[in-house]
Structure 1
Amino acid sequence: MKWSIAAIAGLLAPSAFGAAVADKKITYNGYKAYRISTHHDDAVIKAKLAPLSPVTFNLDTSEHLDVAIPPSEVAKFKALGLDATVLHEDLGADIAKEAAFGTYDLTAQAVPSLTWFNTYHAYADHVTFFSDLRAAYPNNSELINAGTSVQGRSLFGIHLWGSGGKGSKPAVYFHGSVHAREWITSKVVEYITYQLLVQYSTDTVVKTILDKYDFYIIPFVNPDGFVYTQTTNRLWRKNRQTRSGSSCVGTDINRNWPYKWELTNGASTNPCDETYKGVAAGDTPENQGLVAFTQSLKNSKGIKLYIDWHSYGQYILLPYGYNCAARAANHARQTTLAQGTAARIKLSYGTTFTYGPSCSTLYATTGSSVDYITDVALAEFAWTIELRPSGSQGTSGFVLPAAQILPSAIEQWEGIKYLLTNA
């Protein structure tokens, strides 16, 4: 649905329905973050860490475990003698650097400047960024709304089209910031949006792509969680939904899609866990809106390509997550395109992306967007892309230095151009 700029401004603040007493801010000052090599025996490593209070980053722990250790426990951690390297000398200090947003007057110029990508930004500024882009290109863009969050924020986005007119071509559909702490994802989809609009009139490749597809870009699937990472806990992952009978908050939106949700071993039934799937399939407000919006795309011109942008690990993940033996009907074609996309990404900065089916390449997921959009919404291609840093060699994890925003975005833009030119 079309959405006015005034409506966006009116939904920046959470509604009374989702309002709650503010939590005390977690600073992570003095926390030291480590990457521990598990040597394919993560159970032993986790047992050794059990007496401590680590904050775990990654879900795939077969090769390594990324943890932040409180300052009072660093000496005890070192005494364990684990095979570990340092990701953050002081996690709190690095978070503080990342959150030093600076100033950027979006409305002072007709088109936002590329300097927007030099740093991270507050949620309200992201809303303004999309409003300004739409205002600068009113003839081939409009603001859209894909649903409402637990706390009443709109799942806003932007719809782009080319010479055929809006809604006339198959959809290319992007989701960002599904997991709140993955800040780089919203910046990457913003860069792609920016380049599609700015280069449309001057670059023949971009013009061909935008004339061939309608783009629907939702930069913040989890706006409540994202705001919470900026106000309270930088490492928060889930949405901010409360559940009767539990003091734990949040559901993993990407384990809540109503397809293969009922299967086990790909999500958690514990409300306190990072991958909590919810009480019933599709019972998060965010997912309910997204399902309806996705179905509208399916029922219109269909979905050519869906990408769910995440971090971190440097993966291009194909269907499926729910079954490690399952393959999409066009798996061979998807694999060829993923190989070519990874090769094109690598040309920019030498960044290597691993590609393959989600479950067998990384880990099992149930109730995931890619599986739903492949088998229910019938997208021709549906991928998850896990952005920088890498799982094996990267440093920093979710708190990716601002200096890597533009390189991350540029390499993905090159990959997207290759993918949509060859798909």
Structure 2
Amino acid sequence: MKFTAAALLLVAPLALAGAVPKPERKITYDGYKAYRIATHGDAKSVKGKLASFAVVPFNLNTNEHFDVAIPGDEVAAFEALGFEAEVLHNDLGADIMTEGTFAPYQEVSAQAVPSLSWFDSYHAYADHVKFFNDLQGAFPNVSEIIDIGASSQGRQLFGIHIWGSGGKGSKPAIYFHGTVHAREWITAKVVEYLAYNFLTQYSSDATVKAIRDTYDIYILPFVNPDGFVYTQTNDRLWRKNRQSRSGASCVGTDINRNWPYKWELTGGASTDPCDETYKGKAAGDTPENKALVAFTQSLTNGKGIKLYIDWHSYGQYILFPYGTDYIQDVAKAEFAWTIELRPKGSGSGGFVLPAAQILPSAIEQWEGMKYLLAVI
């Protein structure tokens, strides 16, 4: 496939003292039309026919279908191929523009709980930080903001730790990750909703009380903060982190494929720095993964990890190891899952999920977590 500049943007070189670096242009995707193409078991043939198009790929597992965006000036030629295809976006750029109309964060007074209106819209990264600080500030005796390290661009890898009657750090860990892949905005919202309810429903819901009295809960909403910020400033479909590497023209590593366990095996990850699944030069060589490994090991060395979930979008799947190998085989989590959130099929938004689906997505995951944590 021929990839657009969206996947190949170069990081601006370090500026000399006093110089102002030239800003990167913003990718708008105006006029792009996105499709889900049925492969009928012949992905190779479909890929061959797409080779001449400036395709922006959405999905990496193409066994059943390709989800791709096509530039507006190539749509007629693409449709003339006669693929069995459903439309994901009639105008990807317009949908991104609508999704990116952020509501301002509603500031709260000291020890006041943020409003549930937070989940009516997507928000800028700085507002996510405020939300977590305010949420924790409303429950200072049973929660804390944790800092596990820094990203490649120096942003704090923060999270929230929540506990119950046993006291801080006294129980096995429930451990959640969000926004490993930068473009998966819905994941941050879902884990924020989980944190919100674990804190606010303790005194009113017997199931929540039992969960918190049985487990310590650790939620990291932004494993990849640099990439997330970049999706809001430059390229909504950016996936990797923003780490530049000596000798490489392309930027970014897939943090999820950088874990230092079975890293050397072929298949499932790429050694090409320009690839969406680039695994890095060496196992665990991203700052983000180094921080994650150290923090994860601290949980293992403490009371252990009962359940780990890495939240992603999209497709509506629950995936089991192997795929979260380090957490199960090295960190010894009893359960290690990946959950792929909404949407499932065509016409639902792909990575660019309408804001109206934030709360329904979060509620269904919350109900599932309450049930799961009550029975494991």
Q: Which residue of 1 aligns with 2:113?
A: 111
Q: Which residue of 1 aligns with 2:78?
A: 77
SS in 1 for 2:247: coil
Q: Give runs of aligned pairs for residues 41-120 of structure 1, distance below 5 A.
A: 41-108=42-109, 110-120=112-122
Does 1:402 pair with 2:355? yes
- Within the candidate set 126, 129, 146, 1:144 is matched to 146
- Within the candidate set 183, 188, 191, 1:189 is matched to 191
Q: Which residue of 1 aligns with 2:365?
A: 412
Residues in 2 aligned to 1:248 and 1:42: alpha-carbon distance in whole angstroms: 27
C-alpha distance after superposition, 1:27-50 (max 9, x if no partner) = 101111111111111111111111
C-alpha distance after superposition, 1:123-145 (max 9, x if no partner) = 00000000001110001010001
Q: Which residue of 2 aligns with 1:244?
A: 246
C-alpha distance after superposition, 1:250-307 (max 9, x if no partner) = 0000000000101001100000000000000000000000000000000011111100
Residues in 2 aligned to 1:122 and 1:250: alpha-carbon distance in whole angstroms: 21
SS in 1 for 2:314: strand
Q: Give runs of aligned pairs for residues 203-222 of structure 1, distance below 5 A.
A: 203-222=205-224
Unaligned runs of 5+ in 2: 1-13
- 1:104 deviates by 2.6
- 1:108 deviates by 4.9
Q: Give runs of aligned pairs for residues 262-341 of structure 1, distance below 5 A.
A: 262-321=264-323
Counterpart residue identity of residue 31, structure 1: Y
Counterpart residue identity of residue 151, structure 2: S
Residues in 2 aligned to 1:169 and 1:106: alpha-carbon distance in whole angstroms: 33
Q: Report if aligned partners of 2:162, 2:217 keep a CA contact under 8 Å in 1.
A: yes
SS in 1 for 2:353: coil
Residues in 1 aligned to 2:109 and 2:87: alpha-carbon distance in whole angstroms: 42
- Within the candidate set 156, 161, 164, 2:163 is matched to 161
Q: Which residue of 2 aligns with 1:381?
A: 335
Residues in 2 aligned to 1:209 and 1:35: alpha-carbon distance in whole angstroms: 40
**Matched pairs, number:** 358
Counterpart residue identity of residue 412, structure 1: Q
Give RMSD over aligned pairs: 1.4
C-alpha distance after superposition, 1:138-159 (max 9, x if no partner) = 0101000122100000110000
Counterpart residue identity of residue 300, structure 2: K
C-alpha distance after superposition, 1:358-380 (max 9, x if no partner) = xxxxxxxxxxxx21010101111
Counterpart residue identity of residue 368, structure 2: G
SS in 2 for 1:107: coil
SS in 2 for 1:58: coil
Residues in 2 aligned to 1:103 and 1:219: alpha-carbon distance in whole angstroms: 19
Would the alpha carbon gap of residues 20 and 250 (structure 1) be closer, same or farther in structure 2, given more than 3 Å must change?
Answer: farther
SS in 1 for 2:48: helix
- 1:64 deviates by 0.9
Would the alpha carbon gap of residues 288 and 198 (structure 1) be closer, same or farther in structure 2, given more than 3 Å must change?
Answer: same
Q: Report if aligned partners of 2:106, 2:115 keep a CA contact under 8 Å in 1.
A: no
Counterpart residue identity of residue 210, structure 1: R
After TM superposition, what 4+ stretches of structure 1 lie above 6 angstroms from structure 2? none
- 1:393 deviates by 5.0
Residues in 1 aligned to 2:305 and 2:229: alpha-carbon distance in whole angstroms: 30
- 1:80 deviates by 1.2
Q: Which residue of 2 aligns with 1:256?
A: 258
- 1:246 deviates by 1.3
Counterpart residue identity of residue 156, structure 1: F
Counterpart residue identity of residue 388, structure 1: R
C-alpha distance after superposition, 1:183-230 (max 9, x if no partner) = 000000000000000001111000000111001100000000000000
Q: Which residue of 1 aligns with 2:28?
A: 27
Residues in 1 aligned to 2:29 and 2:250: alpha-carbon distance in whole angstroms: 20
Identity %: 72
Q: Which residue of 2 aligns with 1:122?
A: 124
Q: Which residue of 2 aligns with 1:331?
A: none
Would the alpha carbon gap of residues 75 and 108 (structure 1) be closer, same or farther in structure 2, given more than 3 Å must change?
Answer: farther
Residues in 1 aligned to 2:41 and 2:157: alpha-carbon distance in whole angstroms: 39
SS in 2 for 1:54: strand
Would the alpha carbon gap of residues 226 and 29 (structure 1) be closer, same or farther in structure 2, given more than 3 Å must change?
Answer: same
- 1:22 deviates by 3.0
- 1:422 deviates by 0.4
Q: Which residue of 1 aligns with 2:11?
A: none
Would the alpha carbon gap of residues 22 and 105 (structure 1) be closer, same or farther in structure 2, given more than 3 Å must change?
Answer: same
SS in 2 for 1:310: strand
